[in-house]
Structure 1
Amino acid sequence: MTEILQTPKLVTVFGGSGFIGRYVVRELAQRGYLVRVACRRPDLAGHLQPLGNVGQISAVQANLRVRWSVDRAVQGADHVVNLVGILAESGRQKFSTIQEFGARAIAEAARSVGAGLTHGSALGADLNSRSNYARTKALGEKAVLETLGNAVIFRPSIVFGPEDQFFNRFAAMARLSPVLPLIGGGKTKFQPVYVGDVAEAIARSVDGEVAGGKIYELGGPNVLSFRQCMEEMLQVIGRERLLVSVPWWLAGLQGAILGRLPGKLLTSDQVILLRSDNVVSAQAENERRTFEGLGIRPQSTAAILPTYLWRYRAAGQFTRRTFA
């Protein structure tokens, strides 16, 4: 008898060329899925090709502000993953456009083709937040669940990994500056989560192993203050730097100024975000809407940071010692 080969399932990943996206694409490719990466600049997504076999990963142009491009990107998809988000507004890239209306557009497009949906949000999402970022993240979640009640939503804490914009940014600063700023005294708490663990959780949702209609909160094994994050980073790169506390009023002023400059090193909205801890809630832990409930053991900063921050050491990989 002739064996009938089953066509691999197709997954459309919006924002698949970004930091978290590339790890999600890799996990899906390793599982044998066909992956369609929907992004604004598919010509800049060539770095994804080596993550899968020939023809397994393709990139298409899609812009959340242009609804027909979203509909086109999900045609024929069995599952849709939305990882699009911005940390600062720029030009026509607005929080409400991308994180609220964009999330609804993707959910409606997924519903129209009968595809499942996994939505990437963030810890701190709050309908009542003074932060535009946090509020629109929550509005995006609301739009998704109103459109597709069985969607899976993940809220990770601050995500770290080789391409992150947190530890890398401050490590690069430490190479040039004798001091590092601690906004609000560095007391804000985080639960840093490794990007590979987040990608594994998302891939499992695509596999159908995660119950839908719920919001899962993803945090690493350790809760660290901003100061502790900086101290651990400095120890890994073997540099001694003065950690200077920046009061909230001054941080707000700096955010107002720097937020208007190219690069947006700090914005007023980010200062507002830093006033609240970014850790997994007790309710999520009790209801097992966490890594533990997903059967994933998250990796710590101590295990991962040395694998990529070594390039900020004085002698790179040849540095023999780090400061205790």
Structure 2
Amino acid sequence: MSKLVTIYGGSGFVGRYIAQRMARAGWRVRVAVRRPNEALFVRTYGVVGQVEPVLANIRNEASVAQAMQGADAVVNCVGTFDKGGKNNFGAVQHEGAERIARLAAAEGVETLVHISAIGADKDGDTLYAQSKGKGEEAILRHFPNAVILRPSVVFGAEDQFFNRFAGMTRLSPVLSVVGAETKFQPVFVDDVAAAAAHGATGKAVPGIYELGGPEVKTFRELMRMMLEVIQRRRLILNLPFGLARMMAWFFDLGQSLSGGLFKAPLTVDQVKSLRHDNVVSAGAKGFADLGIEPRAMASILPEYLWRFRTSGQYAAIKASAKNLKA
């Protein structure tokens, strides 16, 4: 019988790509999510019955244990950008990650892969980084042979980075950013999935891998690249950290007072994180150690950002038409 992998958060942005890769490799895939009925699309990733969504909430011990029964490999893709509510940083990225690792060790799971983030540090100056760092520490305590992946900003068709800022260009001639000179090393989502599949199938040596694409660019440079792809001209305005922090404080307050109904577009924690470069550390293990060559942004961005062009999918046709002679 084919081996079984349980992917927590397997219907999310990164998780769905991992599910597809594991299915193509011939594995049975169990996609563990809070709302299985909203994840039925994952069934199309394999033959009938090969990929199935199941109920699991990583805050609930019993559901986590049930979802991994009989699994040969476990992948945890669950993460959050919400510091409040039940599914906050600590509950999801620390306690939830620890619960999965502890139960995986007890179940006798062969391999465990955890998706973390560059900058994870239990002593970091942001709550996000602290929760990621504490989660990693807890995982290695229960499952020392785990493969931990720390990607930089992940991009792809469903991302909340380039899509978000490209969408903002439809509303204003000014594109406001915080930390315009902060450096990033964007990584394509399917390359992260390939690394996770290596870990799940036992092809990767246990340890921590930092994953970044082939290019390091500042926030401002990334926005310029995006604007070139979507063929729009916008003024890139860098908001000073002091002003951004003040704005974020009011946004956080509004989210708290509304009970979460209002989602802060910028948080104080995010402003703090934007002070630090988000790139692969010198000497860290990465794609090269996994035998994977990450793909460049220029080869991927046009495939999904075309819809933000003024003429959408017809932009190229209209440009060619202008060159026709009467």
- TM bin, normalised by shorter chain, reads over 0.9
User: Are 2:304 and 1:314 equivalent residues in the alignment?
Assistant: no
Give how far 1:137 is off: 0.1
User: Are 2:235 and 1:239 equivalent residues in the alignment?
Assistant: no
Give 1:168's match in structure 2, choosing from 139, 158, 163.
163
User: Are 2:174 and 1:179 equivalent residues in the alignment?
Assistant: yes
What amino acid maps onto 1:19 in structure 2? F
For residues 103 and 234 of structure 2, the distance between their equivalents in structure 1, rounded to whole angstroms, comes to 50
Matches within 5 A, 1:194-273: 194-212=188-206, 214-259=207-252, 260-261=254-255, 262-273=262-273
Give how far 1:52 is off: 1.1
Give 2:120's match in structure 1, choosing from 114, 117, 125.
125
41-50 vs 11-20, greater mean Cα deviation = 41-50
For residues 164 and 209 of structure 1, the distance between their equivalents in structure 2, rounded to whole angstroms, comes to 27
Which residue in the other structure is 1:278 paired with? 278
Task: Render the CA deviation track for 1:289-320: whole Å, top value 9, x for unaligned.
Answer: 11011111100111100000000000101113
Runs of 4+ in 1 over 6 A off after TM superposition: none
Q: CA RMSD in A?
A: 1.2
For residues 247 and 43 of structure 2, the distance between their equivalents in structure 1, rounded to whole angstroms, comes to 40
Is the 1:88–1:264 Cα contact (8 Å) retained in structure 2?
no
Give how far 1:264 is off: 2.5
For residues 271 and 82 of structure 2, the distance between their equivalents in structure 1, rounded to whole angstroms, comes to 12
Q: Give SS of 2:300's match.
A: helix
What amino acid maps onto 2:271 in structure 1? V
Give how far 1:241 is off: 0.3
For residues 87 and 44 of structure 1, the distance between their equivalents in structure 2, rounded to whole angstroms, comes to 21
Task: Render the CA deviation track for 1:52-110: whole Å, top value 9, x for unaligned.
Answer: 11100111111111111111111100000000000123421111110001011000111
Matches within 5 A, 1:98-177: 98-115=92-109, 116-177=111-172
Q: Give SS of 1:229's match.
A: helix
User: Are 2:182 and 1:188 equivalent residues in the alignment?
Assistant: yes
For residues 122 and 247 of structure 2, the distance between their equivalents in structure 1, rounded to whole angstroms, comes to 26
For residues 198 and 43 of structure 2, the distance between their equivalents in structure 1, rounded to whole angstroms, comes to 22
What amino acid maps onto 2:47 in structure 1? N
What amino acid maps onto 1:161 in structure 2? G
For residues 61 and 84 of structure 2, the distance between their equivalents in structure 1, rounded to whole angstroms, comes to 20
Gaps of 5+ in 1: 1-6
What amino acid maps onto 1:265 in structure 2? P
Give how far 1:258 is off: 2.4
Which residue in the other structure is 1:66 paired with? 60
TM score, norm. by length of structure 2: 0.93
For residues 128 and 111 of structure 1, the distance between their equivalents in structure 2, rounded to whole angstroms, comes to 26
Gaps of 5+ in 2: 256-261, 321-326
Give how far 1:283 is off: 2.0
Is the 2:83–2:127 Cα contact (8 Å) retained in structure 1?
no
Is the 2:73–2:201 Cα contact (8 Å) retained in structure 1?
no
TM score, norm. by length of structure 1: 0.94
For residues 89 and 132 of structure 1, the distance between their equivalents in structure 2, rounded to whole angstroms, comes to 8
Identity %: 50
Aligned length in residues: 310
Which residue in the other structure is 1:4 paired with? none
Q: Give SS of 2:283's match.
A: helix
Is the 2:209–2:286 Cα contact (8 Å) retained in structure 1?
yes
Is the 1:88–1:267 Cα contact (8 Å) retained in structure 2?
no
What amino acid maps onto 1:218 in structure 2? L
Is the 1:13–1:83 Cα contact (8 Å) retained in structure 2?
yes
What amino acid maps onto 1:277 in structure 2? D
Give 1:296's match in structure 2, choosing from 292, 299, 303.
292
Which residue in the other structure is 2:323 paired with? none
What amino acid maps onto 2:169 in structure 1? A
Task: Render the CA deviation track for 1:107-153: whole Å, top value 9, x for unaligned.
Answer: 01111111121011000111221110011100000000000110100
